[in-house]
Structure 1
Amino acid sequence: MTELGKRLIEAREEKGMSLEDLQTVTKIQKRYLLAIEQGNYDIIPGKFYVRAFIKQYAEAVGLNPEQLFEEFRKDVPSTYNDEVSDKLSNIKPQRELPKPASKVLELLPTILIIGGVLVVIAIIYVIVQAVNHDSGQKNNQTAPQQSESKYEVSEDSSLAKDQKKKEKAAKEKEEREKAAAAKKREQQQLALQKQQEEKKRKEVEEKKKQEEKPVRVVQHTVGPEENLYRISMKYYKSRSGEEKIKAYNHLNGNSVYSGQVLNIPLEN
């Protein structure tokens, strides 16, 4: 038996769990659990499953798997990833480069940065020159057009009036659409708020009904080999009943003794 197996057995016995109980919780066959305790890993199919089963075993009895693997590393079979990391750590580093070559490599980043900055400055200069040239041409083209349009509007004042009327109508239409959209959003928000309030009211009523549900209490006398886990599995078919039994009987821990009478609350 390995030191790891002894540690797992101690933790299991402290929890008051048998191998059958552990098999129910972890869904691992009893013969594999026994093999882990005895250090007989040959019957388990593959090193990966060995580590996975040990991890499930440790979590079920309240131990930290990673800390356990580190502490009992010699008792745990290594996986492919562990072997690869060990081989990589044994590879010797490459020879150092000659001093002249190393100096050139040290200066290479600085040279590249300076070259990059010069290229960026050149690109920015070209773009600024092109933008200034285009803007000068546009100003020259738009100036005559603006003077002509002012002259035309002054000649035909009715056209200006029609344009103003159209702009006013479009603005009024836009304002009406905005007001309608705002009103619609407000109505949607009110409807959503009403739905949320109704949902909350139903949840409160449902919770109140659950609290008022009648409870049937059964008295149970603890047997010689029984513990809180087995009693919970008997009446509730899960470990969730442990907290209910402790709360109903005002128990501070998980310990019970043979002959102790417990009140088991059950829903009708």
Structure 2
Amino acid sequence: MAALYHDLYTPHFNNIRCSRPTFLCLLNYTVTATGASTDPALLALSPGLKAAATALAGTVVAREGQDGTGQALTRSKKDVLRAMRTFVQDTNAVTLVPTYRQHLDRLKGLLPQGLMHLTDANATDLPVRFEAFAKALHAHEGDLGKQAAKDADALLTELTAATAAKDAGLKVEKETIGSLGGQWAHACQLLWQVHCTALAAFWQEPKQAEIYFNYGLLPNRTGGKAKVAAPATPKS
């Protein structure tokens, strides 16, 4: 019966199926998360992740410069809207609530109609509501810093590009990241290392390991189950 569980020990990042820019967003999120970690082992992994993200960003830019491929690499409108909802949830939990814990009136000023006004908004209403949220983040940069507002602006810009691509009938190119080999496969291995390290650090509360990955960016969490491997033969 043990064979049924072999897939739990297979790096699930290899099976992620999405566009290359979407995977790069996932990787950059983990770069930031590990860089802010209080766990020494996770913090030590951040430089290697950052180097991998920088290298992959160069390949994406180079590929976008080729005829006809740049637009195909844009995340779909649906994916960007999903990323916006995830961004609002993460920003609220990680930045807004800790900053305004003692000033709930200011928090209400940023989200006057509540979090679900954004997270549950449909595809038509969300862009308008998110733009208002981005403006509110800019207005509170004195308390929150500039990064949150900058990231919100980047999502709005990406949504504009994704909408234009959809209107032009362009399709998003999705690939199984681990099968690309080279630096892409290496990045998957690094993410698996973070996964294992985080589970080791937080084995008593494994949910804490999940904060190092923004799975909400992905069309599907893993893009399908890994194939069950044959049982290994222990060495004597």
Same fold per TM (> 0.5)? no
The answer to which structure has the higher helix fraction is: 1
Q: Which has the higher Rg, Structure 1 or Structure 2?
A: 1
What TM-score, normalized to structure 1? Answer: 0.22
